[in-house]
């Protein structure tokens, strides 16, 4: 299947141009946040990036998670430049690990403060995991199958895999598949308690041990189809989740999703080759359980632009062949790799769009 | 052809499929006030009263319910608890189990700025499909569907697609959800929970009752079943899903999304509306759901359709509902009867059809099970039975 359009909202802005700019500019320090007297870092999405009165006019009460998802999905549709899309033939698959946890905690506040019978129905209905997908459907007028899926590490990969299945069996002509995660203070507390916070706000993807994390938030959506068009980003050639990878020609670049969400990330070393450069763009986005979607977005842009972007943080204590310079390059195939805490692996192969 | 080779169910209506059918036959409605947690809310609920010790998991009731149901379905399918030699996918729906909504944890964090990580660890190890997949060493695709009240139906539909596209040979599919204080408060705040026993499709219906449970199918390609020397009279023939694109909590009044989902499930199955023997409707007993669903079913199938809602026996089990109702539909096809639609007494003149009021024999080789969800998703499954 092909990536015909892409939309993104993240700490550095909104839209593919913002992604391209961030990839060119490299690492920038994340925001400092203070929670209950503790200082830490976070890659937060600026409210300005999701202030869209036209698009969001009917969802003023929606939470930030839903707004980020709607903005990214809308960008993906617009970015494809497809006119007269039959929206009954478009499906939506939203992947999220933690969903609307911020709104869930708001709802718990309601219970604690006002009692079981005094809670807000609006907060409750926005706290369900599929609220974001529902808002995408209503804001964009999409009437195809709409699904929200959750897993802690591979939700995005499973969403891509299912999108391919839906397209292959003719359930849809297009699928908007993507991921969304939100930052919140409880999440930050859990991160800082269970994992290693980056002391200077810098995720070091090639450090592996200790693996430094900085919480992030944002959303990426891809408009996928088995149809082709001239401005396609690339082809999603293969998705494998905890399964043997099929034999493919050697990749030109590996992208690893190392972002400090595993206590130790040395497992990534096992899948790398000294002959093939490796990159990771999580220092631009922050640590997110669905962060693979953001690295895949970077990969898709590289394949369209035929350019390898420098990894934003290149600390290299393991003698790796890190992509450390931005340069035009003929790239055919990118292998994007994610591990979970049980050393299970998910891989997405992105291939240059074919004529 | 995708066979249904195993069924498993637990709810207030029974701890397994056989007990459930007995409750249905006797019109037993095992509802009562909440005993699982403290709450001032006095709504009737449908609780599972007994979880065998070997399935008990501290603070993870949804997983316990799922384990019981999966175990039964695997035994029914003649499968062992170690599935590592087979290509088995796990696709399960839920609502409660996907959220870190531990009040004690949150209150501690809120009040003191710190909290025990035990509930967090339980949550992180408790993704429903991942947990079941690891427990039974399944080596195929894994997915937890969180599509609110259609989660179970959608999970079975996804698993059907996996099998048809060769991603696995066998799938464990369905849904599970526990009765939990958070959604009870939430549904209560929406004003759609009844203070009496629910009455799906009844003129005087006052809302839903919450319940809990798990319903699981083992579905399998014909080739896989043949390799294992298994045969089944039941098969999963079609799935359809469509979004209302309308509102976060209210169904689209014209039922257009539900209609498209049903028609897709029928066309997937290669059958016409007249081939459907009965419909196990979503039938929550809320004003809006039953009006939209009843009107849509009447439009597609006509007023003589045999239909029921089993929520009068189980309550609304949220993410489990689609799984349970698929199991009930499959079992009914095999048993050749459907129970009375509990709670129905008076026809609503705005709904063109009425549910069955007594145990009814069924003819026809196909059943349809429907789900409508918060968020506007609609889903439908067609299950078939080969007659000798």
pLDDT recorded at residue A248: 78
Query: What average pLDDT score do residues B70-90 get?
Result: 95
Q: How far apart are CA B235 and CA B330, in angstroms?
A: 9
A344 touches chain B (CB under 8 A): no
What's the confidence (pLDDT) of residue A35? 86
d(CA A260, CA A213): 4
Q: How far apart are CA B62 and CA B343, in angstroms?
A: 27
Q: Quick one: how many helices (H) and strands (E) in chain B?
A: 12, 14
φ, ψ of residue B239 to 5 degrees: the values are -145, 140
Cβ-Cβ pairs closer than 8 A, A with B, add up to 202
Mean pLDDT of B16-40: 97
> Choosing among B375, B378, B379, B381, which should be mutated to test the A contact, i.e. which has the most A CBs within 10 A?
B375
Point out which residues pair with A94 in neighbouring strands. Answer: A148, A178
Check residue B388 and give its pLDDT.
67
B299: Cβ contacts below 8 Å, ≥ 6 apart: B255, B259, B352
A345/A239 Cα distance (integer angstroms): 11
State the best of A136, A140, A146 to mutate against chain B, taking most chain B CBs within 10 Å: A146
Measure the CA–CA gap between A19 and A240, rounded to whole angstroms. 26
Question: Which distant-in-sequence residues (6+ apart) come within 8 Å of B382 by Cβ?
Answer: B236, B237, B238, B239, B265, B266, B268, B269, B271, B276, B366, B367, B368
3-state secondary structure A103-137: HHHHHHHHHHHHCCCCCCHHHHHHHCCCHHHHHHH
Please list the pLDDT of chain A residue by residue as tens digits (355 residues).
999 999 999 999 999 999 999 999 999 999 999 988 889 999 999 999 999 989 999 898 899 999 999 999 999 999 999 988 999 999 999 999 999 999 999 999 999 999 999 999 999 999 999 999 999 999 999 999 999 999 999 999 999 999 999 999 999 999 999 999 999 999 999 999 999 999 999 999 999 988 999 999 999 999 999 999 989 999 999 999 977 777 778 899 999 999 999 988 999 998 899 999 999 999 999 999 999 999 999 999 999 999 999 999 999 988 999 999 999 999 999 999 999 999 999 999 999 998 7
Which CATH number characterizes residue B50's domain? 3.40.47.10
3-state secondary structure of B45: strand
- B89 neighbors B140 (Cβ within 8 angstroms): yes
Judge: A121–B154 Cβ closer than 8 Å, yes or no: no
| Chain centroid to CA A293 | 3
B109-118 long-range contacts, Cβ below 8 Å, gap at least 24?
A: B109/A186, B109/A189, B110/A109, B110/A112, B113/A36, B113/A37, B113/A38, B113/A189, B114/A189, B114/A193, B115/A189, B117/A190, B117/A193, B117/A194
Q: From the centroid of its chain, how far is CA A276?
A: 24
Minimum Cα–Cα distance from B165: chain A residue: A165
How far apart, in whole angstroms, are the C-alpha atoms of residue B333 and residue B381?
A: 14
Q: Which residue of A lies nearest to B190 if distances are taken between CA atoms?
A: A121
- To test the contact with chain A by mutation, choose from B114, B143, B210, B257 the residue with the greatest count of A C-beta atoms within 10 A, namely B143
pLDDT of residue A37: 87
User: Is the omega angle on the peptide bond into residue A236 within 30 degrees of 0, that is, cis?
Assistant: no
pLDDT tens sequence across B92-143: 999 998 999 999 999 999 999 999 999 999 999 999 999 999 999 999 999 9
Of A116, A120, A168, the CB nearest to B40: A116
B250 DSSP assignment: S
Q: What is the fold, at CATH topology level, of the domain defined by A2-352?
A: Peroxisomal Thiolase; Chain A, domain 1 (3.40.47)
Q: Say how far residue A47 (Cα) sits from the centre of its chain.
A: 18
Averaged pLDDT score across all residues of chain B:
96
Catalytic residue (one of B91, B149, B168, B198): B149
- Does pLDDT of B1 surpass 90? no
B177 bridge partner residues: B213
Facing residues of A175 across strands?
A91, A224
Q: How far is CA A64 from CA A101, B69, B140, in A?
A: 11, 37, 34
**Chain B interface includes A340 (CB < 8 A):** no
From CA A41, how far away is CA A145, in angstroms rounded?
Answer: 38
Per-residue pLDDT of B251-270, as tens digits, reads 999 999 999 999 999 999 99
Which residues constitute the domain of residue B188?
2-385
pLDDT by residue (tens digit) across B48-66? 999 999 999 999 999 999 9
- Contact A276/B at CB under 8 A: no
Residue by residue, DSSP assigns B154-200 as HHHHHHHHHHHTTS-SEEEEEEEE---HHHHHHHHHTT-B-SS---T
Write the residue in B98, B120, B143 that is nearest to A190 by C-beta: B120
- Give how many domains chain B has, as a whole number: 1
Per-residue confidence (pLDDT) for residue A355, from 0 to 100: 73
**Are A111 and B109 an interchain contact pair (Cβ–Cβ within 8 Å)?**
no
Checking if the pLDDT of B171 tops 90, the result is: yes
Instruction: Write out chain B residues lying below 8 Å of A194, CB-based.
Output: 117, 120
- B120: its two tokens: 């967090």
- Window 251-290 of B, Cβ < 8 Å to A: 256-257, 260, 264
Active site residue B247: no
- The number of beta carbons lying within 10 Å of the beta carbon of residue A12 is 20
A114, B189 contact by CB (below 8 A): no
* Pairing of the two strands A218-225 and A2-10: antiparallel
Is the minimum CB–CB distance between A242 and chain B shorter than 8 Å?
yes
């Amino acid at each position: 299947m092909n990536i015909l359009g892409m939309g993104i909202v993240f700490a550095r802005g909104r839209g593919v141009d913002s992604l391209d700019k961030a990839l060119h500019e490299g690492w920038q320090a994340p925001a400092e946040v203070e929670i209950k007297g503790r200082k830490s870092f976070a890659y937060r999405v600026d409210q300005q990036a999701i202030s869209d009165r036209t698009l969001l006019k009917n969802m003023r009460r929606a939470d930030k998670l839903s707004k980020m998802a709607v903005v990214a999905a809308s960008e993906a549709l617009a970015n494809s430049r497809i006119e007269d899309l039959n929206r009954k033939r478009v499906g939506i698959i939203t992947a999220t690990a933690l969903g609307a946890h911020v709104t869930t905690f708001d709802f718990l506040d309601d219970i604690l403060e006002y009692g079981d019978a005094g809670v807000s129905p609006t907060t409750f209905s926005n706290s369900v995991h599929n609220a974001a997908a529902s808002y995408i459907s209503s804001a964009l007028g999409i009437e195809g199958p709409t699904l929200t899926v959750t897993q802690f590490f591979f939700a995005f990969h499973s969403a891509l895999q299912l999108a391919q299945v839906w397209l292959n069996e003719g359930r849809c002509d297009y699928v908007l598949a993507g991921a969304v995660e939100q930052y919140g203070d409880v999440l930050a507390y859990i991160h800082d308690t269970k994992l290693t916070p980056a002391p200077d706000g810098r995720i070091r993807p090639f450090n592996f041990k200790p693996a430094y994390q900085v919480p992030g938030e944002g959303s990426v959506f891809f408009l996928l189809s088995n149809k082709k068009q001239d401005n396609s980003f690339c082809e999603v050639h293969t998705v494998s989740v905890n399964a043997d990878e099929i034999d493919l020609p050697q990749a030109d670049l590996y992208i690893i999703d190392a972002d400090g969400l595993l206590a130790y990330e040395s497992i990534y070393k096992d899948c790398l080759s000294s002959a093939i450069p490796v990159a990771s763009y999580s220092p631009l986005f922050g640590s997110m359980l669905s962060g693979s979607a953001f690295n895949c977005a970077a990969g898709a842009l590289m394949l369209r632009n035929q350019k390898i972007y420098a990894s934003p943080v290149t600390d290299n204590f393991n003698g790796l062949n890190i992509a450390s310079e931005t340069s035009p390059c003929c790239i055919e195939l990118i292998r994007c790799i994610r591990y979970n805490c049980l050393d299970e692996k998910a891989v997405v192969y992105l291939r240059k769009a074919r004529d | 052809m995708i066979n249904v080779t195993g069924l498993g169910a637990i709810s207030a209506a029974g701890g397994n499929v056989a007990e459930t059918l007995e409750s249905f036959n006797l019109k037993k409605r095992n509802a009562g006030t909440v005993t699982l947690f403290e709450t001032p809310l006095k709504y009737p609920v449908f609780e599972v009263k007994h979880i065998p010790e070997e399935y008990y998991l501290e603070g993870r009731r949804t997983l316990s319910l799922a384990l019981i149901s999966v175990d039964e379905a695997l035994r029914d399918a003649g499968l062992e608890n170690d599935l590592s030699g087979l290509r088995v996918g796990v696709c399960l729906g839920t609502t409660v189990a996907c959220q870190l909504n531990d009040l004690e944890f949150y209150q501690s964090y809120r009040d003191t700025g710190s909290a025990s990580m035990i509930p967090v660890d339980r949550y992180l190890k408790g993704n429903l499909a991942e947990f079941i997949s690891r427990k039974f060493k399944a080596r195929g695709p894994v997915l937890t569907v969180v599509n609110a009240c259609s989660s179970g139906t959608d999970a079975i539909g996804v698993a059907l697609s996996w099998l048809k596209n060769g991603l696995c040979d066998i799938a464990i599919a369905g849904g599970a959800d526990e009765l939990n204080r958070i959604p009870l408060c939430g549904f209560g705040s929406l004003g759609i929970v009844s203070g009496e026993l629910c009455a799906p499709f009844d003129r005087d219906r006052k809302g839903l009752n919450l319940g809990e449970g798990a319903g699981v199918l083992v579905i399998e390609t014909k080739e896989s079943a043949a390799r294992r020397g298994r045969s089944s009279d039941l098969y999963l023939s079609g799935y359809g899903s469509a979004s209302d694109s309308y509102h976060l909590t209210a169904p689209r009044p014209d039922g257009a999304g539900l209609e498209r989902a049903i028609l897709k499930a029928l066309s997937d199955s290669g059958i016409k509306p007249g081939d459907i023997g009965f419909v196990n409707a979503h039938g929550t007993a809320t004003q809006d759901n039953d009006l939209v669903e009843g009107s849509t079913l009447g439009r597609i199938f006509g007023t003589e359709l045999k239909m029921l809602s089993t929520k009068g026996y189980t309550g609304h089990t949220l993410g489990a509902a689609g799984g349970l109702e698929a199991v009930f539909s499959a079992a009914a096809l095999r048993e050749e009867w459907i129970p009375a639609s509990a709670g129905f007494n008076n026809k609503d003149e705005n709904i063109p059809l009425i549910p069955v009021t007594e145990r009814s024999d069924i003819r026809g080789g196909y059943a349809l099970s429907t789900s409508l969800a918060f968020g506007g998703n609609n889903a439908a499954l067609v299950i078939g039975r080969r007659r000798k």
